[in-house]
Amino acid sequence: MSEHGTSVVGVGEFGLIDRVTARLSYGSTVLLGPGDDAAVVAASDARVVASTDVLVEGRHFRRDWSGARDIGHRAAAANLADVAAMGARPTALLVALCMPADLAIAWAEELADGLAAEAATVGASVVGGDMSSSPTLTIAVTALGDLGGRAPVTRAGARPGDVVALAGRTGYAAAGLTVLSRGFRTPRLLVEAYRRPEVPYAAGPQAADAGATAMIDVSDGLLADLGHVARASGVAMDVRRDAFEVPRQMRDAAQALGVDPYTWLLAGGEDHALAATFPPAVPLPEGWRPVGEVTPGSGVTVDGRPWEGAAGWDHFR
Amino acid sequence: MSEHGTSVVGVGEFGLIDRVTARLSYGSTVLLGPGDDAAVVAASDARVVASTDVLVEGRHFRRDWSGARDIGHRAAAANLADVAAMGARPTALLVALCMPADLAIAWAEELADGLAAEAATVGASVVGGDMSSSPTLTIAVTALGDLGGRAPVTRAGARPGDVVALAGRTGYAAAGLTVLSRGFRTPRLLVEAYRRPEVPYAAGPQAADAGATAMIDVSDGLLADLGHVARASGVAMDVRRDAFEVPRQMRDAAQALGVDPYTWLLAGGEDHALAATFPPAVPLPEGWRPVGEVTPGSGVTVDGRPWEGAAGWDHFR
């Protein structure tokens, strides 16, 4: 049997763990890496930020739409962005991988490569995990992070008069997903944005340092996620459509597919942009741009009116 | 529709998260609990211990063999024991729950109750998580812990002449699982041991304080797990059969089912006992009993001979 054709059942759980961990490397925050009952990770200010996200095949990814490495990047990004959205720097990932027994080893190895490569972009490492066979390919990732003495930026601190600002892109990944779901493979810009989100990780701690009053990772769609912040903060928000540029490829795809591109920009998740609120007197840090404002009341409006387009994502609906 | 009959799809992802988190409470190590992008947990000595274990329906549990609350206890125990086996005290759990959309809300709530109750026995809290629908009911848990200034006790420090010691029970859960798999519901002692392992969490930090040279959570079976320690430490180990008492209920069940009870005691996992090695001059801490010794060489023997019985657990075989 060819090496590429060897399935995970062929090498067994411990064999696969050995093969995957042999591909990993560890940053300076890793005090004890994989191979023991647990890992030990530095937490410089005596606090650790922790978040878990799970990806289920058919629901969060499809193997015919994304390669294993892409899926690793995406699974890591979803979790690392949550840590950044608290104002922290990610330090470590732990990964629980449930796989059909006939999955090729190479697939699991490439997934690990993608997870590790995405983590490495922020100096974080894959420090542990677990593997099991399962009828449903499932990737549960936990990210740890270090606030470095900063106060965590929660969803609850936005105040009327604050500026609503965005770091990173929205709508690209949603557009790419729509393109793939209609059976196309281009525009490449959009499809690649879906496969490997470009997350502005550093913008999280920078926003915290600049005095952001609230922050969130945009994973359910901008309006839905701003809705979480508005609810937690007891405020309303208004977003300006003209703060969003529709890139040419997105406009073309929208026209070809009969979609309003603002549905992607305002309600599409999975780019893992960061949204935050800043006091009006604060100069926005590099990479952040204003997209709206915080007002008294409740709910999120677009140009002063309720949004009539598609809402955000609910993983049970 | 009755409340008990409401399925998770009926309340949606956010509704279910709200309902589950409303049932939780938080210990003093929780600086920020669920409801934001990430939790913040105290890490008193600027290090955090972290471990992930995943349970898949049909592979690690069956809903007709265990209630939701039992499965929560078991899922938490598997992870908390890993933290204890490093010599740390568990502080927090994060839980990724993948559920069929027709699962009753009450089931998910009771699972959360079991997870939280098991965590509470060691002062730890459920601080975060994620939920998704999935065809396969899957529970991925990450446990965090605090070494409190101790050096982590790894698998790699056992030395020839050390005493091999055990805290907690072995074989009870494996016997209970065999009983259930043959269609019986008694003896209750064994079935309950399978449903809710009694883990000697405090014995982990106590062993570290006493100078244990290596430690492991017994989840693959004692001989298999001692094999992991022997391999990591570059030593051999011999276990004495007469160190293990066969309780009456186990003896009766073994006879009725035609099983060698030592297969349960020596090769059955899932009780989450702790096994450790101690220098010979060290008085064993309370709750630890000697079961063998470390010798030069490699491999694990029973009364000086290779074990001919069933081996440990591999989640792909």
Tell me the pLDDT tens digit for each residue of A31-67: 999 999 999 999 999 999 999 999 999 999 999 999 9
Query: Least CA distance to A53: which residue of chain B?
Result: B130
Rounded average pLDDT over A2-13 = 67
Banded pLDDT at B265 (limits 50, 70, 90): very high
Query: Least CA distance to B228: which residue of chain A?
Result: A36
Q: Do A54 and B98 make contact, defined as CB atoms within 8 angstroms? A: yes
The nearest CA of chain B is from the CA of A187 a distance in Å of 29
pLDDT at residue B286 greater than cutoff 50: yes
Q: Do B51 and A12 make contact, defined as CB atoms within 8 angstroms? A: no
Beta sheet of A30-32, edge-to-edge order:
A30-32, A39-42, B47-56, B138-146, B89-99, B125-133
Q: Do A52 and B127 make contact, defined as CB atoms within 8 angstroms? A: no
The nearest CA of chain B is from the CA of A248 a distance in Å of 32
Selected for mutation to probe chain A from B36, B105, B233 (highest A CB count within 10 Å) is B36
Name residue, tokens 């060489």. Answer: B297
Q: Residue A315: what pLDDT?
A: 45
CB-closest option in B16, B140, B217 to A37:
B217
Q: Which spans in A8-104 are helix H?
A: 8-21, 68-84
Q: Residue B308: what pLDDT?
A: 82
Q: Does B136 touch chain A (CB under 8 A)?
A: yes
Q: Residue B1: what pLDDT?
A: 36
Query: Least CA distance to B52: which residue of chain A?
Result: A129
CB-closest option in A37, A51, A156 to B51:
A37
Q: Does B13 touch chain A (CB under 8 A)?
A: yes
Query: Least CA distance to A143: which residue of chain B?
Result: B38
Q: Which residues contact B91 (CB under 8 A, 6 or more apart)?
A: B27, B29, B30, B41, B42, B43, B123, B124, B125, B144, B145, B146
Do B211 and B158 form a contact (C-beta atoms < 8 A)?
no
Contacts with A, B 33-62, CB within 8 Å: 35-56, 59-60
* Residue-by-residue DSSP string for chain B: --TTT-BHHHHHHHHHHHHHHTT----TTEEE-SSSSSEEEE-TTSEEEEEEEEEEBTTTB-TTTS-HHHHHHHHHHHHHHHHHTTT-EEEEEEEEEEE-TTSBHHHHHHHHHHHHHHHHTTT-EEEEEEEEE-SS-EEEEEEEEE-TTPPP--SS---TTPEEEEES--SHHHHHHHHHHTT----HHHHHHHHS----TTHHHHHHHHT-SEEEEESS-HHHHHHHHHHHHT-EEEE-GGG----HHHHHHHHHHT--HHHHHHH---S-EEEEEE-TTSPPPTTEEEEEEEESSSEEEETTEE--S-----TT-
Selected for mutation to probe chain A from B14, B17, B48 (highest A CB count within 10 Å) is B48
Q: Does A30 touch chain B (CB under 8 A)?
A: no
Cβ of A257: how many Cβ atoms within 10 Å? 14
Tell me the pLDDT tens digit for each residue of B134-148: 999 999 999 999 999
CB pairs under 8 A between A and B: 250
Tell me the pLDDT tens digit for each residue of A137-194: 999 999 999 999 999 999 999 999 999 999 999 999 999 999 999 999 999 999 999 9
Q: Residue B65: what pLDDT?
A: 95
Architecture, CATH, for domain A163-306: Alpha-Beta Complex (3.90)
Selected for mutation to probe chain B from A37, A53, A94, A155 (highest B CB count within 10 Å) is A37
Residues of chain B with C-beta less than 8 angstroms from the C-beta of A158: none
Give the residue among A137, A108, A135, A150 at the shortest CA–CA distance from A24: A108
Q: Does A25 touch chain B (CB under 8 A)?
A: no
Selected for mutation to probe chain A from B142, B144, B201 (highest A CB count within 10 Å) is B142
Q: Do B12 and A317 make contact, defined as CB atoms within 8 angstroms? A: yes
CB-closest option in A43, A45, A133 to B315:
A133
CB-closest option in A13, A48, A136 to B135:
A136
The nearest CA of chain B is from the CA of A47 a distance in Å of 4
Rounded average pLDDT over B56-74 = 96
Q: Does B237 touch chain A (CB under 8 A)?
A: no
User: What single-letter DSSP state applies at residue A61?
Assistant: B
Question: What is B8-146's CATH number?
Answer: 3.30.1330.10
CB-closest option in B37, B46, B135 to A42:
B46
> How far is it, in rounded angstroms, from Cα A100 to Cα A131?
11
Residues of chain A with C-beta less than 8 angstroms from the C-beta of B96: 52-54, 96, 140, 142
Residues of chain B with C-beta less than 8 angstroms from the C-beta of A38: 49-51, 82-83, 85-86, 88, 143, 145, 152
Q: Do A47 and B51 make contact, defined as CB atoms within 8 angstroms? A: no
* pLDDT greater at residue A82 or residue A11: A82
Amino acid at A128: G
CB-closest option in A8, A38, A140 to B54:
A140
Q: Do B38 and A50 make contact, defined as CB atoms within 8 angstroms? A: yes
Cβ of A22: how many Cβ atoms within 10 Å? 10
Query: Phi/psi zone of residue A131: left (φ > 0), alpha (ψ -120 to 50 degrees), beta?
Result: beta
> How far is it, in rounded angstroms, from Cα B205 to Cα A210?
41
Query: Per this entry, what is the length of chain A?
Result: 317
pLDDT at residue B105 greater than cutoff 70: yes
When the pLDDT of each residue in chain A is averaged and rounded to a whole number, the result is: 93
pLDDT at residue A114 greater than cutoff 50: yes
Beta-bridge mates of residue A218? A273
Tell me the pLDDT tens digit for each residue of B193-251: 999 999 999 999 999 999 999 999 999 999 999 999 999 999 999 999 999 999 999 99
CB-closest option in A32, A95, A134 to B59:
A134
The nearest CA of chain A is from the CA of B249 a distance in Å of 31
> How far is it, in rounded angstroms, from Cα B315 to Cα B317?
6
pLDDT at residue B293 greater than cutoff 70: yes
Q: Map out the domains of chain A as residue ranges.
A: 8-146, 163-306
Q: Which long-range contacts (CB under 8 A, 24 or more apart) does A249-255 make?
A: A249/A187, A249/A189, A249/A190, A250/A171, A250/A172, A250/A175, A250/A187, A250/A190, A252/A187, A253/A175, A253/A178, A253/A179, A253/A187, A253/A190, A254/A175
Banded pLDDT at A20 (limits 50, 70, 90): confident
Handedness of CA B37, B41, B43, B44 (dihedral sign): positive
Residues making up the annotated binding site of B for substrate are 60, 270, 313
Banded pLDDT at B76 (limits 50, 70, 90): very high
Percent of chain A at pLDDT exceeding 70: 96
Give the residue among B173, B193, B167, B177 at the shortest CA–CA distance from B265: B173
Q: Do B94 and A46 make contact, defined as CB atoms within 8 angstroms? A: no
Q: Residue B70: what pLDDT?
A: 98
Q: Return the SS3 of A82.
A: helix
Q: Residue A19: what pLDDT?
A: 84
> How far is it, in rounded angstroms, from Cα B75 to Cα B1?
30
> How far is it, in rounded angstroms, from Cα A301 to Cα A290?
15
The nearest CA of chain B is from the CA of A305 a distance in Å of 24
Percent of chain A at pLDDT exceeding 90: 86
Q: Do B36 and A152 make contact, defined as CB atoms within 8 angstroms? A: yes
> How far is it, in rounded angstroms, from Cα A144 to Cα A124?
9
Q: Return the SS3 of A295.
A: strand
Banded pLDDT at A316 (limits 50, 70, 90): very low
Q: Residue A232: what pLDDT?
A: 97
Banded pLDDT at A311 (limits 50, 70, 90): low
